[in-house]
Amino acid sequence: MADTEIAAAIKAALATVEIPGGGDLAGYAGLSEIIVTTSAAAFAIAVAPGMEAAFGPAREAAQRAAQQAAGTRKVMVSLTGGKPPAGPTFSHGKPVAAGKTSVPGVKHIIAVGSGKGGVGKSTTAVNLALAFAAEGLRVGILDADLYGPSIPKLLGIEDRPTIREDGIFAAHQAFGLKAMSIGSMLTKDQAVVWRGPMATSALRQLLRETDWGTLDLLVIDLPPGTGDIHISLFQQAEVDGVVIVSTPQDLALIDAKKAIDMLQRFAVPMLGLVENMSYFIAPDTGTRYDIFGSGGAERAAEAMNMPFLGAIPLVTSIREGSDAGKPPMATDPSGPEAQAFRAIAQRILASAANLRN
């Protein structure tokens, strides 16, 4: 069946679901658009604050009805509008804020963000994840850049995620990492325009309904800027810290104040700044050229009160490797590019030593 037919079948099935106050879910104004991809179907039910519990049975009935219509696709349905549901109050042995829950099997989370797109955030996230793995950690990567998912391409993941019988995604395996991305559920030219609540619901399910096995560290590739996804992630999961990626030219564009305010609000530590495409190494001679002058990022980081984590060279091998699904950190672990990523991972582990526990 075509995606649009599935969406219509799900909508029809939702007409059998009663909602509090009378009426059915298909005709309910708070039902979002139904998004269907090659392996999932997602929708959200917006409810007034305080109504979440009353809508619980309707949500479950919706899940069952939609699953019948969706066949082998995984149905992702969420209630939105209220506070996130309260979960366990302890995670990693320390109290967490109300509403935050730990991710099953995952000990620590760090997120990689940027002020704008195209700065190499995803490239950095993937290679950093591999660098942490090279330090002996069990590592996963979650593509939370729902608006521009690129982790499947970077890791050469071509197949769809499989869905276990209990409805949990089996994570992809690539270069020793566990990986999950909405990108591998989309057809080549399918652009999914998420609405706010849909995106946060998809994020919640990618995060929590994936079998991560046991991970010491989950690296999350955030969308650029500061938006819904960031807030949703920081609200619902305990994030150990955030790494910001910037190019020398875009340093001025980092809305540091906004990002720092947001991190403070959710008590998420800033791990520091990575400068990408920082200097150029001539392929023939190996000479380093500081094309943008040197030390700029370090000074900028200092001015913004962020630790400086290191610089990554601008080299075609990174672009070509990334485009081909062969991250330099995996294919040439002793090369200069890999060394740059490893130095950054080691600096992060030195400053946040608890990540190893």
Query: With the C-alpha atoms ordered 351, 352, 354, 357, is the resulting torsion angle positive or negative?
Result: negative
Secondary structure (3-state) at 36: strand
Which residues, 163 to 222, sit near ligand ADP by CB under 6 A? none
Check residue 315 for interaction with ligand ADP (CB under 6 A).
yes
How far is the C-alpha of 12 from the C-alpha of 69, rounded, in Å?
9
Check residue 314 for interaction with ligand ADP (CB under 6 A).
yes
Helix (H) or strand (E) holding 75: strand 74-80
Instruction: Tell me how far, at minimum, the Cβ of 275 lies from ligand ADP, in Å.
Output: 10
Residue nearest to ligand ADP (CB): 120
What does R_g of the chain's alpha carbons equal in angstroms?
Answer: 21
Helix (H) or strand (E) holding 122: helix 121-134
Which residues, 115 to 174, sit near Mg ion by CB under 5 A? 122, 145, 150
* Residue 207 interacting partner from Mg ion, ligand ADP, none (CB closer than 5 to 8 Å by kind): none
Check residue 232 for interaction with Mg ion (CB under 5 A).
no
Query: x-or-dash pattern for ligand ADP, window 233-272, by CB under 6 A?
Result: ----------------------------------------
Which residues, 99 to 118, sit near ligand ADP by CB under 6 A? 114, 117-118
Check residue 80 for interaction with Mg ion (CB under 5 A).
no
Check residue 319 for interaction with ligand ADP (CB under 6 A).
yes
Secondary structure (3-state) at 172: strand
Which of 277, 300, 306, 338 forms a contact with ligand ADP (CB under 6 A)?
277
* Residue 80 interacting partner from ligand ADP, Mg ion, none (CB closer than 5 to 8 Å by kind): none
Torsion angle of the four alpha carbons 48, 54, 57, 61, in this order, in degrees rounded to the nearest 10? -30
Instruction: Tell me how far, at minimum, the Cβ of 150 lies from Mg ion, in Å.
Output: 4
For residue 202, give both structure tokens. 């998809």
* Residue 319 interacting partner from ligand ADP, Mg ion, none (CB closer than 5 to 8 Å by kind): ligand ADP
Q: Are 113 and 78 in contact (CB under 8 A)?
A: no
Nearer CB in complex with ligand ADP: 91/247: 247
Instruction: Tell me how far, at minimum, the Cβ of 117 lies from Mg ion, in Å.
Output: 6
How far is the C-alpha of 82 from the C-alpha of 52, rounded, in Å?
7
Angle, CA 128 vertex, CA 125 and CA 129 arms, to 5°: 85
Query: x-or-dash pattern for ligand ADP, window 127-166, by CB under 6 A?
Result: -----------------------x----------------
C-beta contacts of 332-338 below 8 A and 24+ residues apart: 333/134, 336/281, 337/127, 337/312, 337/313, 338/127, 338/131
Secondary structure (3-state) at 62: helix
Which residues sit at the interface with ligand ADP, rule CB under 6 A?
Answer: 114, 117-123, 150, 276-277, 312, 314-315, 318-319, 322-323
Which residues sit at the interface with Mg ion, rule CB under 5 A?
Answer: 122, 145, 150
